[in-house]
Amino acid sequence: MNTETLTTPSPELKQHLQDLRREADNVTQDIKKQASAGLQEIQTEANNRIQDAKGTAADLFSAVKDFAAQHPLKTFAAGIVVGFFLSKRRNH
């Protein structure tokens, strides 16, 4: 058996290896693109949810302010009750 035949890759093998490398590069690029698109989608969804939460918090704050302006005695009484319960809870 000729040792040169075993150690020297054939032109077909060299071409096959180049094709495999090219295909691996293509797969890697596809994965990077998909991951990037997925991350962008997640970031967009997170930003949308944050904006929704900010809007909800602003609406709630506005409703509380309106209630307090329209019902100052009820607001004061509610503050006393909440303060009482918080102080009792803190003591335990």
pLDDT tens digits for 53-88? Answer: 999 999 999 999 999 999 999 999 999 999 999 998
Residue 3 has pLDDT above 80, yes or no: no
Q: Quote the CA–CA distance of 76 and 5 in Å, as a whole number.
A: 95
Answer yes or no: are the C-beta atoms of 12 and 19 closer than 8 Å.
Answer: no
Residue 6 has pLDDT above 70, yes or no: no
Domain ranges of the chain: 10-91
Q: pTM of the predicted model, to two decimals? A: 0.55
The two structure tokens encoding residue 16: 């096959």
